[in-house]
Structure 1
Amino acid sequence: MTKNKDNNLTRRQALGLTAGAVAGGAALAAPALAQDAEPVIEWRMVTSWPKNLPGPGMSAQRICDRINIMSNGRMRVRLFAAGELVPAFEVFDAVSSGTAQMGHSVALYWAGKMPGSVFFTTVPFGLLPQEHTAWVDQMGGQELWDELYAPFGVKPFMAGNAGPTMAGWYREPVETLDDLKGRKLRMVGLGGEILRKLGVTPVNIPAAEIFTSLQTHVVDGVEFLGPWTDSALGFHKLVKYYYGPGFNKPNGTGEAIVNAVALEGLSPELQAVVEEACRVEADLALSEANAQNAASLKVLQEEHGVEVREFPEEVLAALKETSIEVLDIYTQKDKMARKIYESYIEAQGLLAGWSALSLGKNIAARS
Structure 2
Amino acid sequence: MKRRDFLKVSAAGAAATAVAAPAIAQSSPEVKWRLTSSFPKSLDTIYGGAVEVAKYVAEMTDNKFQIQVFAAGEVVPGLQALDATSNGTVEMSHTVAYYYVGKDPTFAIYSSVPFGLNARMQNSWWYQGGGEALGNEFFKKFGVIGFPTGNTGTQMGGWFRKEIKTVADMSGLKMRIGGIAGQVLQKVGVVPQQLAGGDIYPALEKGTIDAAEWVGPYDDEKLGFQKVAKYYYYPGFWEGGPTVHSFVNLEKWNALPKNYQAILTNACANANSWMAARYDMQNPSALKRLVAGGTQLRPFTTEVLEACLKATNELWSEISGKNPDFKKSIEAMQAYRSDQYLWWQVAEYTFDSFMIRSRTRG
**TM-score above 0.5:** yes
1:24: which partner in 2?
Answer: none
Deviation for aligned residue 1:292: 1.0
| Structure 2 unaligned spans of 5+ | 1-19, 358-362
Counterpart pick for 1:222 among 196, 201, 212: 212
Counterpart pick for 1:62 among 47, 52, 55: 52
Residue 323 (str. 1) matches residue 312 (str. 2): yes
Counterpart pick for 1:338 among 310, 327, 351: 327
C-alpha separation between the residues in 2 aligned to 1:163 and 1:114?
24
Counterpart pick for 1:347 among 336, 343, 349: 336
Counterpart pick for 1:203 among 181, 193, 209: 193
Distance 1:38 1:123, change over 3 A: closer
Residue 299 (str. 1) matches residue 293 (str. 2): no
1:233: which partner in 2?
Answer: 223
Is contact 1:35–1:74 with CA below 8 Å preserved after alignment? no
Is contact 1:214–1:222 with CA below 8 Å preserved after alignment? yes
Which of structures 1 and 2 has the bigger CA Rg? 2
Deviation for aligned residue 1:297: 0.8
| Structure 1 unaligned spans of 5+ | 1-29
Residue 145 (str. 1) matches residue 164 (str. 2): no
Distance 1:112 1:36, change over 3 A: closer
**Alignment partner of 2:48: what SS?**
helix
The one-letter amino acid of 1:364's match is S
C-alpha separation between the residues in 2 aligned to 1:155 and 1:117?
12
Deviation for aligned residue 1:197: 0.9
Is contact 2:27–2:257 with CA below 8 Å preserved after alignment? no
Q: Deviations over 1:132-170 (max 9, x none)?
A: 111111111000111111122201000000110001000
**Alignment partner of 1:357: what SS?**
coil
**Superposed, which structure 2 residues align to 1:1-367 within 5 Å?**
40-302=30-292, 304-366=293-355, 367=357
C-alpha separation between the residues in 1 aligned to 2:277 and 2:68?
25
C-alpha separation between the residues in 1 aligned to 2:230 and 2:298?
10
Distance 1:344 1:36, change over 3 A: closer
Is contact 2:96–2:243 with CA below 8 Å preserved after alignment? yes
Is contact 2:35–2:67 with CA below 8 Å preserved after alignment? yes
C-alpha separation between the residues in 2 aligned to 1:54 and 1:77?
18
The one-letter amino acid of 1:95's match is T
Distance 1:208 1:70, change over 3 A: farther
**Alignment partner of 1:50: what SS?**
coil
Runs of 4+ in 1 over 4 A off after TM superposition: 34-39
The one-letter amino acid of 1:330's match is I
Deviation for aligned residue 1:317: 1.6
Between Structure 1 and Structure 2, how many residues are aligned?
337
Shifted more, 54-63 versus 337-346: the winner is 54-63
**Alignment partner of 2:163: what SS?**
coil
**Alignment partner of 1:194: what SS?**
helix
**Alignment partner of 1:202: what SS?**
strand
Deviation for aligned residue 1:39: 5.6
Shifted more, 323-332 versus 80-89: the winner is 323-332
C-alpha separation between the residues in 2 aligned to 1:194 and 1:274?
36
C-alpha separation between the residues in 2 aligned to 1:217 and 1:60?
34
Deviation for aligned residue 1:207: 1.8
Deviation for aligned residue 1:218: 2.3
C-alpha separation between the residues in 2 aligned to 1:224 and 1:158?
20
The one-letter amino acid of 1:352's match is Y
Is contact 2:217–2:283 with CA below 8 Å preserved after alignment? yes
Is contact 2:167–2:304 with CA below 8 Å preserved after alignment? yes
1:18: which partner in 2?
Answer: none
Task: State the percentage of identical aligned residues.
Answer: 32
Deviation for aligned residue 1:36: 11
The one-letter amino acid of 1:102's match is M
Deviation for aligned residue 1:38: 6.6
